[in-house]
């Protein structure tokens, strides 16, 4: 089955328990349609770059799924109809990365970024 990554943004006035309940709800929607959620992460309340529906912040959730296209379409359709969900982004990937996502890693644990003092000199 194809592999997908989903990011959901929910309204800021929800409690943490309600936001995690949304993750469980969409996990069951995928499971009922023949897919499965490999991993999920709750990223917490984050400030957005621009207002969405008069909200400046939102609860962010990240799901890694292994599901058929019909299950993903049904999950996206229900997410767009849900009053608490402001945005949904789904991306098809070749393989899921191991370990936590970049959002959950600490800055010093990230690889591939030089320290501030290690920049190359300009010519």
pLDDT, the chain, mean: 86
Compute CA distances 14 → 9, 30, 50, 107, whole Å: 11, 23, 19, 28
Regarding pTM above 0.85, the answer is no
- Please state the rounded mean pLDDT for residues 26-41: 91
Enter the tokens of residue 35: 């897919």
Does the pLDDT at position 58 exceed 80? Answer: yes
For residue 53, what are the CA distances in angstroms to 40, 69, 115?
25, 29, 38
Q: Could you tell me which residue, 80 or 120, shows the higher pLDDT?
A: 80
């Amino acid at each position: 089955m194809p592999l997908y990554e989903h990011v959901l943004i929910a309204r800021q006035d929800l409690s943490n328990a309600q936001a995690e309940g949304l993750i469980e709800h969409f996990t069951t929607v995928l499971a009922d349609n023949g897919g499965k959620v490999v991993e999920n992460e709750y990223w917490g309340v984050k400030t957005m770059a621009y207002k969405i529906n008069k909200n400046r912040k939102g609860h962010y959730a990240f799901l890694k799924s292994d599901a058929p296209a019909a299950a993903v379409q049904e999950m996206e359709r229900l997410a767009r109809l849900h009053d608490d969900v402001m945005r949904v982004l789904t991306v098809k990937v070749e393989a899921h990365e191991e370990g936590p996502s970049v959002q959950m890693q600490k800055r010093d644990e990230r690889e591939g970024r030089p320290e501030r003092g290690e920049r190359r000199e300009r010519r």
